[in-house]
């Protein structure tokens, strides 16, 4: 089953209509498989000849998708929220995010592994619960680093 079919099934299982707007937002998120702002999603829908959705519907659709657990919302310092399709339901997994953000081209790359898991375990041993974190490392990606060093 492809991701668009999974989105359709989740919407149906919650007795929600499968609208053109919801399919448009899902299609853009699936196609990109990266973190996008609401504005970036809307612009891609506008550029498409096959998709249609107004900007208010993009916001509403993302809110609905977030409630259903279809998207992961990430917030970066001083920026609008970003969204990425996240259909896989993981139980008993810590919610955390680690990213590198380039100061030159603004690309955002997820980082693998957890740099803070040991500290979280210590906190849990001391009674802390429902822990999550967001780690944002900023700098220059290899491409931008070459460009800036050449100048």
CATH number of the CATH domain containing 107? 3.30.1490.190
- 111 is in which domain, residue-wise? 95-150
Please list the alpha-helical segments (H only) found in 69-137: 117-125
Question: What is the percentage of the chain residues whose pLDDT exceeds 90?
Answer: 54
- Write down the pTM of the prediction: 0.72
Domain co-membership, 73 together with 29: yes
Residues 38, 103, single domain; the answer is no
Q: How far is CA 115 from CA 1, 96, 125, 134, 149, in A?
A: 34, 10, 18, 11, 29
Pair 57, 116 in one domain = no
Q: CA–CA separation, 66 vs 83, rounded Å?
A: 9
Give SS3 for 133. strand
Residue 23 belongs to a domain with what CATH number? Answer: 1.10.10.10
Q: Summarize pLDDT for 42-83 with one digit per residue, the tens.
A: 999 999 999 999 999 999 999 999 999 899 888 888 889 999
What is the total count of domains within the chain? Answer: 2
* Mean pLDDT by groups of 10 residues along the chain of 151 residues: 91 96 96 92 95 96 94 87 77 64 86 82 90 84 85 61
Residue 90 in any domain: the answer is no
24 and 44 belong to one structural domain: yes
């Amino acid at each position: 089953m492809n991701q668009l079919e999974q989105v359709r099934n989740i919407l149906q299982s919650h007795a929600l209509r499968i609208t053109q707007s919801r399919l448009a937002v899902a299609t853009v998120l699936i196609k990109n498989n990266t973190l996008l702002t609401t504005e970036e999603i809307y612009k891609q829908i506008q550029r498409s000849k096959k998709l249609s959705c107004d900007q208010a519907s993009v916001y509403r659709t993302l809110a609905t998708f977030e409630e259903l657990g279809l998207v992961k919302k990430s917030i970066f310092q001083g920026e609008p929220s970003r969204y990425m399709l996240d259909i896989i339901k993981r139980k008993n997994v810590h919610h955390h995010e680690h990213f590198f953000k380039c100061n030159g081209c603004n690309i955002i790359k997820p980082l693998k592994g957890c740099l803070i898991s040991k500290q979280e375990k210590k906190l849990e041993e001391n009674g802390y619960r429902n822990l999550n974190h967001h780690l944002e490392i900023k700098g220059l990606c290899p491409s931008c680093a070459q460009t800036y060093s050449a100048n």
